[in-house]
Copies of this chain bind each other. A is one copy, B any other.
Amino acid sequence: MIIFFEKDIDIEDALDKIIYISEINFSHFNFGENYKGIYISEDIDKEFILKNIDGIREMVQVNKPYKFVSREFKKEDTIVHIGNVKIGGEHFETIGGPCSFENEDGFMEIAKNLKEFGVKIVRGGAFKPRTSPYFFQGIGKDALKIMRRITLELDLKLVSEIVSTEDIEVFNEYVDIFQVGARNMQNFELLKKLGKCNKPILLKRGFSATIEEFLLSAEYIVSGGNMNVILCERGIRTFEKSTRNTLDISAVPVIKKLSHLPIIVDPSHASGRFDLVESLALASVSAGCDGIMVEVHNDPENALSDGCQSLKFKRFYNMNKKIHKIRKSLF
């Protein structure tokens, strides 16, 4: 049950009272004037609450296991603001950049090219969660600093993956969007803490997570108070081996129906093959996603990670042009 309060109510007071008169657990949630609300368990005595708590505007039964991220709770699309850049609703963005930050010159070259192609958000890994301890683990904090400097210089937004609660402070200083990778989608301690941040979170679907689990992980963040979650489909694990993962294209329209959060697609990780990225990106756009995130590299053959799925500039440019054609013809 979600209880919405009148705009002018002092919600802390109301919460105290609810705690006092009942003994129920609840999640507090407050996003903007229109969504002052709390979630309490469904088996509450509705009449009892209504009689004892003032200032209740509406009580909404949410049938899905996730509450605040559901369309039942909020009908209109959420638009996530990253400064003056927007994702969601009518706002579409193509995000590009290298898998890992490797060196200043390389990143500058990539960022400049993307900027020229109209890209507003760049990605770059500093802390890399790698399957093997013997793989390149990323350059860490220094990479964040340099990427921050370059993106500020070029007026670009920066997204980078966070892998530990201990790095939240440093990420707060250097990036615009915190990315939670597929392997950490159910790192609930991290999600809980990100719910207390006020920067946007790009949450990737675990490669074996159901859509319901994916939305429940988003709920961990949103129920903590941070509504700025961008979902990202990046392929699921199946028996098929011609692609690194299987892009679950249906996730786009399914999530659009179930949730108000924006959903973008990462065809680079989904396929693991640069020669499939364009087809999958165009498919995802046509399926209705709110953005595309792809790996772009100035020299894929010599990349320290994921080179085989990175686009060169020209391929990126061509893909992006076609994306805009489709969006113009369809939406």
Contacts and interface: CB of A to CB of B under 8 A. Distances in A.
Contacts of A276: 250, 253-254
Contacts of A187: 183-184, 187
Interface in A247-269: 247-254, 257
A207, A242, A322 interface centre (most CB from chain B within 10 Å)? A242
Interface residues on A, range: 35 or more
Contacts of A59: none
A241 interface: yes
A242 B210 contact: yes
B248 A188 contact: no
Q: How many copies does the complex hold?
A: 4
A280 interface: yes
28 contacts: A27-B133, A66-B132, A131-B216, A133-B188, A163-B189, A165-B165, A165-B166, A166-B189, A187-B187, A208-B237, A212-B242, A236-B239, A237-B239, A238-B238, A240-B250, A243-B254, A247-B249, A247-B250, A249-B280, A249-B283, A250-B276, A253-B275, A253-B276, A253-B280, A282-B286, A282-B330, A286-B326, A326-B326
Contact of A216 (B133, B206, B286, B329): B133
A257 B275 contact: yes
A130 interface: yes
Interface of A: 27, 39, 41, 65-67, 129-134, 163-166, 183-184, 186-189, 192, 206-208, 210-213, 216, 219-220, 223, 236-243, 246-254, 257, 270-271, 275-276, 279-280, 282-288, 322, 325-326, 328-330
A219 B134 CA distance: 9
Nearest to A185: B183
B242 A238 contact: no
Nearest to A66: B132
B326 A322 contact: no
